[in-house]
């Protein structure tokens, strides 16, 4: 599988729906990730899940769409000298360990808007006018914050991401505030009109969450080892990369920090690990480097297959 997606054949992207379908089918027949009665949409309230199968299929489809966007970002910005489709496959496999993969909810929609935010920031250039990309990126971030309100307090980190590439320009900063604020303003009006409250607890514990935390610990060990290999591979790649690529990589590091903050808050306050799924966005980019390193490629491949085998076998535990 690694060799198949690491090649320069775009046709392998047709296998992503098949891969997502396998995870969907396994969960459908085992009920490992149970369907919530409502879907948490953040500031937009709780949506009653009338047709659970449609919600599950919708989640799998959106994961595939997110994976395709990440892969486009990866290849467009030439993180490697040639095109590769590993990042899309990695995102699908990594997300299979989270509840949102099997239930369309606000958290997964937040993934989509954050990925679009990243795409806009990656189009910025130090010497060109960045107002359009800054506004669009922060507008997508604002939409993400309406579906996941804790993102609102991380507004400074989002600003730091585009300041990595762009110098501080007051007009661009005001556009960033405006772009981020417009979706939040509409969400606040809807919140006031509907009279509901925002529930920061993502899940109602219908699922046996002890097993899910065990899954998290097992995969955290595997992903951490993969990430360590990636860090060494990234350092080797950065030594001969352009200044722009180094700045894009810095943005991803800030993204990881933001995701870890949300994940730790989720774990310590609600004993859930769903918000750690945000780490999977930059991780699917970083892990790709380890597979293309001559020194660490074999070890990275073995660790990935161990994680993939666990992602399938967990349904039968």
pLDDT score for 267: 79
pLDDT score for 138: 96
Exposure of 71 by Cβ count < 10 A (0-12 exposed, 13-18 middle, 19+ buried)? buried
Q: Is the separation of the CB atoms in 8 and 110 below 8 Å? A: no
User: Taking the CB of residue 101, how many other CB atoms lie within 10 A of it?
Assistant: 23
Q: Is the separation of the CB atoms in 46 and 39 below 8 Å? A: yes
Q: Which residues of the chain have pLDDT under 50?
A: 205-208
pLDDT score for 18: 94
Angle between helices 86-95 and 280-291 (to 10 degrees): 130
Identify which of 32, 111, 153 has the alpha carbon closest to the alpha carbon of residue 280. 111
The three-class DSSP label of residue 201 is coil
Identify which of 94, 109, 103, 98 has the alpha carbon closest to the alpha carbon of residue 149. 109
pLDDT score for 298: 84
Q: How far apart are CA 70 and CA 280, in angstroms?
A: 11
- Token duo for residue 2: 């690694």
Q: How far apart are CA 49 and CA 37, in angstroms?
A: 6
By residue count, the chain amounts to: 317
Q: How far apart are CA 18 and CA 227, in angstroms?
A: 26
Identify which of 187, 166, 303 has the alpha carbon closest to the alpha carbon of residue 247. 166
Q: Is 169 left (phi over 0), alpha (psi -120 to 50) or beta?
A: beta
pLDDT score for 10: 80
The three-class DSSP label of residue 85 is coil
DSSP state of 293: -
pLDDT score for 17: 94
């Amino acid at each position: 599988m690694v060799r198949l997606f690491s090649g320069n054949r775009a046709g392998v992207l047709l296998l992503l729906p098949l891969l997502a379908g396998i995870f969907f089918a396994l969960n459908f027949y085992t009920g490992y990730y149970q369907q919530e009665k409502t879907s948490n949409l953040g500031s937009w309230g709780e949506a009653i899940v009338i047709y659970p199968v449609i919600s599950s299929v919708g989640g799998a489809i959106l994961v595939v769409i997110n994976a395709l966007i990440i892969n486009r970002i990866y290849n467009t910005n030439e993180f490697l000298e040639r095109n590769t489709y590993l990042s899309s496959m990695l995102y699908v496999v990594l997300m299979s360990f989270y509840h949102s993969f099997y239930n369309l909810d606000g958290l997964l929609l937040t993934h989509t808007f954050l990925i679009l935010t990243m795409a806009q920031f990656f189009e910025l250039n130090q010497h060109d006018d960045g107002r359009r990309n800054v506004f669009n990126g922060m507008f997508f971030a604002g939409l993400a914050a309406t579906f996941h309100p804790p993102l609102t307090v991380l507004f400074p980190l989002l600003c730091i991401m585009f300041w990595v590439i762009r110098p501080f320009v007051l007009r661009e900063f005001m556009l960033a505030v405006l772009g981020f604020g417009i979706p939040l303003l509409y969400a606040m009006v809807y919140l006031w009109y509907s009279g509901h409250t925002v529930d920061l607890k993502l899940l109602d514990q219908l699922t046996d969450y002890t097993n899910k935390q065990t899954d998290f610990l097992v995969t955290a060990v595997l992903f951490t080892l993969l990430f360590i290999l990636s860090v060494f591979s990234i350092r080797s790649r950065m030594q001969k990369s352009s200044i722009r690529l180094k700045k894009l990589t810095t943005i991803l590091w800030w993204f990881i920090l933001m995701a870890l903050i949300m994940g730790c808050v989720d774990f310590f306050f609600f004993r859930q690990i769903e918000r750690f799924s945000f780490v999977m966005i930059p991780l699917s980019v970083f892990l790709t480097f380890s597979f293309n390193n001559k020194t660490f490629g074999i070890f990275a491949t073995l660790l990935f297959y161990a994680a993939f085998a666990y992602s399938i076998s967990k349904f039968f535990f």
